[in-house]
Chains A and B, each alone.
Chain A
């Protein structure tokens, strides 16, 4: 079954670019989705199908998926981007949904 590995934390200064990775064996062959959870709130979708943004998500959020790693990049980071970010896939072999462990983005 698929295991998704994320770094526990990423820290960036305001205005810089944050990169959050999600590793998994051959995940480049399937769709990866990203959810964001701000403190005290329910999660929300920020990227679906590897690189698509739902309405309301700014272009600063960009993602790609290739090989064994999916990457979420957030450019021109703002204080409001501080949150936990979770990658997620559907494992069609086991028919299970799989989440990464989550990455806490801290804006310095």
Chain B
């Protein structure tokens, strides 16, 4: 069955970097778009980044553009999110999500927690 499993979260100081990983299985990885979505404690969902199935299109939320980078490794069936210049406002549970054709967010992982703390 479809699975996406995030990892790489942790506690990091402001201004530092972190790389999140999302291991995908159970579907043809190179044919589906992927997103990262985050959720601060007690808050709603905030879209972070999108990458098309072929890797040619990448889009970012204004709040992270220039600091975060999405990428994917087609050999490892893995999506990455590089987080640079982290701020307190970046503290959240980060979800990796497989898209369904048509743009809906079909399969969500359990998330990996990023805490920015001094």
Contacts and interface: CB of A to CB of B under 8 A. Distances in A.
A96 B50 CA distance: 8
11 contacts: A42-B108, A42-B110, A42-B111, A43-B105, A45-B107, A48-B106, A49-B102, A97-B35, A98-B47, A99-B46, A100-B44
Contacts of A102: 44-45
B111 to A, nearest CB: 6
Contacts of B61: 96
The size class of the interface chain B forms with chain A is 20 to 34
Interface in A69-108: 84, 86, 88, 90, 95-102
A31 B102 contact: yes
A33 B109 contact: no
A48 B59 contact: no
Interface in B40-88: 44-47, 50, 57, 59, 61-62
Interface of A: 31, 33, 35, 37, 42-45, 48-49, 54, 84, 86, 88, 90, 95-102
B104 interface: yes
Nearest to A54: B106
Interface of B: 35, 37, 44-47, 50, 57, 59, 61-62, 95, 100, 102-111
Contacts of A43: 37, 45, 95, 105, 108
A95 B102 CA distance: 14
A99 B103 contact: no
| Contact residues of A: prevailing secondary structure | strand
B104 A49 contact: yes
Given A96-B59, A97-B35, A45 B45 contact: no
Contact of B105 (A35, A95, A96, A100): A35
Contact of B44 (A96, A97, A99): A99
